[in-house]
Structure 1
């Protein structure tokens, strides 16, 4: 109809721009990832799901990388800081468990929260919690950072395997275990054959727990060893004599 505006005027925000916010855009992106995976998300697809003009999203997010970072930070922000007990093993386990819970709650988004570099307060909260536990246990700031990086690398690998890929040597499918065990036992490799029964089975929760316990054992041993090296040798008692 003549005289009726069908498009926004230049400089005027889209009709529904007032309804948009960074939080709502992140919500829409996370919902899309949960249902279709990271590859299904683009600025255009998120805008379409919100019945919005794609250009209007740029008033709230800088682009797709910023949006994916925001999704990762949203998930990490849900972790919170587990209550400290003063027991180093229990406190490190609690941080790892909280990280795993957040990851498994949004499996399709796991590669984001496990591989993107975070700089916001929400994204750095698990880092701060872990460093605090390590330093309070006696690690130097430098050693705490090395331990943190080792811890994260191993934990990320374990969780990516759990949420995004089948186990290399094992399965949780009961019907497949016997066949897999037979294949391994007849592979012609002695060590593999001897371990065929264990290799054929994969329990994600048990593997995760073993990984965390192993990492904490290593961290505590490293801290104790460094502390021992820092203790100065006691001077020998002076010899008394003529």
Structure 2
């Protein structure tokens, strides 16, 4: 990120993906501004970052943002997911996006990056999808993701880039799907796509540096190597599963 503009970076959701993303951004952005990691619950700051307890769904109505941030922000990066512990619903996605849009305007953010999911395609028939594939929400999860994406894309301007990254099947340290496939729990003909955590972090930094063009952009973020569940099971166990469950269209966003 050499030669990048100065200003603080606000990272929302320093969890399994967001925490290492914040730390990576802090290293790359050193000397040009802080990385402020915001979460609704109190938690330690990621290494090299500043922790902020605030509610992104409230946006500028949460005084903690105005007390901590100053314009212009280099970027807002959003890595949020519903919390079962807090009883969140999928409605947290569009609510967080609306809060992000308000903060982007209030603090003159130069870039907005939103982590979404390829689950938005809601396809289970093996058909190919691209960023131009029509989204036709059929459940609350897909509708929430779709609404959030539209809100983020609308923040784009001649001075601000807005990017949606649709990540596929996240895996990495502490999140290994091998056991699920070794057990044959997923139907053999189910197509699977994956994203290594650190590759997604690299993608965040890459699109953050994208120049503003006046319109938002969507990118699928995947290893570009779709594989059927049965082939994964065969590679892990030496045997192809004879049974399995189809993907749950109402399951958690990966």
Question: TM-score per shorter chain, which class?
Answer: under 0.3
TM-score normalized by structure 1?
0.24
Greater share of helix: 1
Query: TM-score under structure 2 normalisation?
Result: 0.24
Considering Cα pairs closer than 8 Å and 6+ residues apart, tell me whether 1 or 2 has the greater RCO. Answer: 2
Higher strand share: 2
